[in-house]
Amino acid sequence: MKKTLGILGLLIAVCVSTAALSPNFLKAYNVENITTWTSLFGILSIGVAFVIMTGGIDLSIGSVVGLTGCLLPWLLVQKHVDPVSSIALVMLVSLAIGLLHGFLITKMRLQPFVVTLCGLLFYRGFARWFTGDETQGFGNGFAGLRYLAVGRVPIPFVSGWHLPVPFLIMATIAVAAAIFLNQTIYGRYLLALGRNEQAARYSGIHTDRMIMLAYLICSLLAGLGGILFSLEINSIQPSGHGDFYELYAIAAAVLGGCSLRGGEGSILGVVIGAAVMRVLYNAINLLGIPTQLEFAIIGMVILAGVIFDELVKRLAARRRTVASPAQATPPAAF
């Protein structure tokens, strides 16, 4: 919990300052939009967080989003496959991708960076090939299916406010992921092997199996995210859909307290990290800041947040040292 305080502070600071400067920020319509986008990106971020906790990386997320996002409307509209089989098939493809990554990384001992970078190129190229580069979409149909992404559930006793359906999906996934990570032995294995894989293996943990599981979760959630993104956006360009999304996901995970060295991370932090990114985008538009400055501002705020977080941690460490010099351990390398 303590680890997420810094990022939560950043989120609150950005929200409060935007709300103070723009009366439209806290309107139901705007909050619902931000929540939807946060949830969609949050699902990807939770997935990649598992991989990052093992000390790995997954660069193929954006392309998996692109592939599954094209595959679903292609199956439904062009091949007339029924919705349930289509979704099952798309999830199966994501599962296979995760298994392939896990296999190549654990059994072939290839570096995750290389495996998933090749995945990034391959899935994108494959999506462009089987669609013939033609934009895919659901047209005006499949309203029931699209409800998963654009649906809004009224909040009881609060009139005018709704919960976007993607938020409910993301929240369910986040709770399940948090329980898995914190309350089950396997979650502890995952964190342990991220800190020191050899030590974990020597203490009897099937590290290969756990790493494979992490990549499986990551690709599965990327596939699910891809489905929801395509349902939300409705027209999917095979060459560009999901481009760069892996970096947004990784940034949110790292912002939320995952260490790229592995062994650390919290699901709540990751979700808050995803929210910070989306709120920043929204704030730039609402405050009338020139959109050309978008990336510059987001980069700057995130960097400032991470520096602040690091300073707070050091201060806390120093206080502990002063308070109990007897048990003091040397602070981590600066």
Partner 1 sequence: MYKSVFVWVWASLLSLAGCNSAAPPGPAADSATPAKAAAKPTVAYVTNGIASFWVIGAKGAEAAGREFGVNVEVRMPPKGVGDQKRMVQELLTQGIDGIAISPIDPDNQTDILNEAAAHSKLITQDSDAPHSNRLCYVGMDNYNAGRMCGQLVKEALGEAGGSVMLFVGRLEQLNARLRRQGLIDELMGREPDNTRYDAPGAEIKGEKYVVLDTRTDQFDFGKAKSLAQDAIARYPDLGCMVGLFAYNPPKCLEAIREAGKQGKIKLVAFDEDNDTLQGILDGDVFGTVVQNPYQYGYESVRILAGLARGDQSVLPQGGFMDISARKITKDNAAEFWQDLKRLTEPGGK
Contacts to partner 1 by CB under 8 A: 22, 24-25, 27, 29-30, 33, 37, 107-108, 128-129, 132-135, 137, 139-140, 150, 229, 232-241, 243, 281-282, 285-286, 288, 290-292
Tokens found for residue 60: 């193929």
Residue nearer to partner 1 on the CB measure, 113 or 244: 244
Residue nearer to partner 1 on the CB measure, 14 or 217: 14
Compute the least distance from the CB of residue 313 to partner 1, in Å: 33
- Determine contact, residues 236/73, Cβ cutoff 8 Å: yes
Residue nearer to partner 1 on the CB measure, 288 or 330: 288
Compute the least distance from the CB of residue 30 to partner 1, in Å: 4
Residue type, 304: A
Helix 294-323 vs helix 2-21: crossing angle, to nearest 10? 140
- Tell me the CA distances in angstroms from 281 to 15, 70, 220, 285, 297, one per residue in order: 12, 26, 27, 7, 9
Compute the least distance from the CB of residue 22 to partner 1, in Å: 7
Compute the least distance from the CB of residue 285 to partner 1, in Å: 4
Partners of 137 in beta bridges: 235
Nearest to 195 by CA among 310, 15, 52, 291: 52
Residue type, 45: S
Compute the least distance from the CB of residue 323 to partner 1, in Å: 47
Compute the least distance from the CB of residue 84 to partner 1, in Å: 25
Partners of 164 in beta bridges: 152
Residue nearer to partner 1 on the CB measure, 39 or 282: 282
Q: What is the dihedral of CA 292, 282, 33, 53, to 10 degrees?
A: 100
Residue type, 106: T
Compute the least distance from the CB of residue 79 to partner 1, in Å: 14
Q: What is the DSSP string of 61-123?
A: HHHHHHHHHHHHHIIIIIS---HHHHHHHHHHHHHHHHHHHHHHHHTS---HHHHHHHHHHHH
Helix (H) or strand (E) holding 153: strand 152-154
Residue nearer to partner 1 on the CB measure, 167 or 189: 167
Residue nearer to partner 1 on the CB measure, 64 or 190: 64
Residue nearer to partner 1 on the CB measure, 100 or 317: 100
